[in-house]
Amino acid sequence: MGLEAWLTGVQERQRTALAGLGTFQQQVERGLRQLHASLDEAQRRTDEREPGRALRVLESLDVEGVLGKMRVGNFSELSRRERRAIPWLWRRVEPTSMEGFLNHFPESWPRLVRQRLRDWCLADGDSKRMREWSQLTSRYSTDSRLLRWHLPVSIEMALSPEGPKCVAARWGDRPLREIVDLMGHAGLRPAVGYSGHVVAEHLLQRCAARQDASESLLYLLEAEAGRAWLPSASADRSVIGAPLEARVAVVAAILECRAQGRVHKDAQSRVEERLIAKDSVFGDPRISILTEAWSAVRGRSKQAFEAFLSALIQQDLEFFFEKAMHERDRHVFWLRYLGSIRSTTCWLAPDAYDALLRNVRALSSEQQAAFRRAKRFSRYDVSAFCLRFDEYSVVEFSKTGNATYVYRNRDIDKVLRQENVECADDLKVRSLAEARLYHQPGWEPRFEQELLARGIEKASAAKKRPF
C-alpha cells in the first residue's frame, strides 16, 4: 500500500507539473502573439508615416544639389539626411549612379526596394529604363534577408511589370484575408498601390479558374483593410485609401467577377450599392460624362463595366415604372431600348418618395438600391424620369396627360443646370424641347418613329450590352 500511495503521489505531482507547463506554454504563446501584434502595429504606423516623412525631408533639402552629387559620383559628400533621401528620389537618378551609391552605402538597399514597391505602377511598363533598374535589382537579391521579405517571389520578379500577378499566383490557394495579412508583414499595407494590384490579380485569377469570389468581395466590403481599395471616402481615419490606379484595378476586377457570374446575388447587390454610394470618390457611372476613375475602369474591362451599367439602368427602369408609377406598358417599352440608354435619373414627388421610404424594407435589394439613387422633388405630385441616349434625352412624367419631352443633350444639360429643380414643371421647357410626345391610344409605334428619326434604336437593332 505504501508503494501504491507513493506512485499515486508521483503521478499526481506529474499531472500538476504538466498542467503548470501547459499553462506556462499558453502564457508564452499569448505573450508572443501580443508581441507580434504590437510589432506589426508599430511597423504599420511606420510604413504609413513613411510617405509624409519623405516629403518633409525632401522639402528641407536642396534636392537639385543632392542629385548633382549623385550625377558626378560625390557620394562621400552626402550628409546622413541626404543619403536617407536618395531611395525616395530613385526616379530622378540613373541606375548607374544608384549602383555606385549602393556600393558605398549598402545599408540603403532595403529602403530602395521598399520605395520601389511603393512606387510600382502599370505606367512604368517594360521600358529600357525599367529593365536597367531590374538588372540592378537582381544583383542585390542575396540581401533579401534585410528586407522583411515575405513575398513568395524574388525581388526582381516582384518589381517587374508582372510582379503582382506572380505574387497572386503563388498565393492563389489562400483566402484574400490571409493574402492581405501576408502583404502587411512585408510592409505592403493597403495604402500602397502594389497591394491593390495583387488583390485585383487574385480576383481575376479566381474568376479565370471559375471559382466563387463572394467571400473575397465580402471581405473587401467588411474589413477595414479591404475598404481601402473601394471607391468610398471612408470617414474612419484609420483607413487610408489606396492610390487611384490600384482602386481602379480592384474595381475592374470586381466587375469582371460580377460579369462572369462568380458572385452570389446577395454579395453582388451589396457590391453594386457600395460602388455607386453617394460618398464614392469615383462618382456615379450613369452620368453623361464619366469621371476619370470610371473611364479608367471602362478602359480595363469594357464589357464588364457596360454590363454593370446596364444592370443599374434596368433596375432604375423597373423601380420607376413598376413601383413608383405602376405603368408596366412604359416599363416594357423602354426595356427594348436598354442597349441604347446611356444613363438614367429619377425624381420622385414628395408623397411618392415618402411612401416608398416608409416601406423601403419591403422592396428587393435591387429596388432598395434604385430607391437610394432617386432624387426627391420638393413640390407637387408628379414624378419624372430622364433617359439619356447618345445625342438626345427623353423625360417621362408619372401622370398620363403630361407630355413626354425630348431634348438634345446639350439642352437638357441647360435645364438641369438651373439653380433648383424642385418639381416636374422645372423639367418642362418648351423653348428647348425638340418634341413633345403624348401617351394616347397606339402611342408605342408613334414613339418608336419619333425616336428612330433621331437615331435612337431599339436593343434588337442597337449594339446590346452584355449582362
Report the distance separating Cα 352 and Cα 323, nearest Å. Answer: 10
Taking CA atoms, 297 is separated from 41, 302, 304, 457, in Å, by 33, 8, 9, 27
Residue 235 has a pLDDT of 44
Residue 265 has a pLDDT of 84
Taking CA atoms, 372 is separated from 349, 362, 366, in Å, by 14, 14, 10
Written as nine digits, the cell of 118 is 511603393
Residue 461 has a pLDDT of 45
Q: Which residue has the cell 508582372?
A: 162
Alpha helices in 151-213 (DSSP H): 155-158, 163-170, 176-185, 193-208
Report the distance separating Cα 329 and Cα 348, nearest Å. Answer: 19
Taking CA atoms, 149 is separated from 145, 186, 191, in Å, by 6, 6, 18
Strands 435-437 and 392-397: unpaired
Residue 462 has a pLDDT of 42
Going 146 to 156 to 179 to 117, the CA torsion angle's sign is positive
What SS3 state is found at 210?
coil
Residue 46 has a pLDDT of 64
pLDDT digits (tens, 9 = 90+) for 280-303: 888 878 765 678 889 999 999 999
Largest distance between two CA atoms of the chain: 114
387: DSSP letter = E
Residues of the chain with pLDDT under 70: 1, 36-52, 140-149, 233-240, 287-289, 419, 460-467
Report the distance separating Cα 123 and Cα 53, nearest Å. Answer: 25
What SS3 state is found at 72?
helix
Q: Which of 199, 299, 324, 258 is nearest to 466 (CA)?
A: 258
Question: In this structure, are residues 257 and 305 in contact, taking their beta carbons and an 8 Å threshold?
Answer: no
Residue 274 has a pLDDT of 85
Report the distance separating Cα 434 and Cα 8, nearest Å. Answer: 102
Report residue 227: phi and psi, to 5°. -65, -15
> Per-residue DSSP letters for 319-341?
IIIIIIS--HHHHHHHHTTTTT-
What SS3 state is found at 152?
coil
Question: In this structure, are residues 406 and 438 in contact, taking their beta carbons and an 8 Å threshold?
Answer: no
- Sheet order of strands, 343-348 included: 375-376, 343-348, 384-388, 392-397, 404-408, 435-437
pLDDT digits (tens, 9 = 90+) for 147-156: 556 788 888 8
Residue 26 has a pLDDT of 75
Report the distance separating Cα 22 and Cα 372, nearest Å. Answer: 56
Question: In this structure, are residues 348 and 382 in contact, taking their beta carbons and an 8 Å threshold?
Answer: no
Report the distance separating Cα 461 and Cα 213, nearest Å. Answer: 34
454: DSSP letter = T
- Up-side HSE of residue 362: CA atoms within 13 Å toward CB? 6
> Per-residue DSSP letters for 109-134?
HHHHHHHHHHH--GGGTT-HHHHHHH
Report the distance separating Cα 202 and Cα 179, nearest Å. Answer: 9
Q: Which residue has the cell 483566402?
A: 175
Q: Which residues contact 83 (CB under 8 A, 6 or more apart)?
A: 105, 108
Question: In this structure, are residues 163 and 120 in contact, taking their beta carbons and an 8 Å threshold?
Answer: yes
Written as nine digits, the cell of 114 is 521598399
Residue 296 has a pLDDT of 92
Report the distance separating Cα 389 and Cα 394, nearest Å. Answer: 8
Residue type, 400: T
Q: Which of 215, 222, 145, 228 is nearest to 174 (CA)?
A: 215
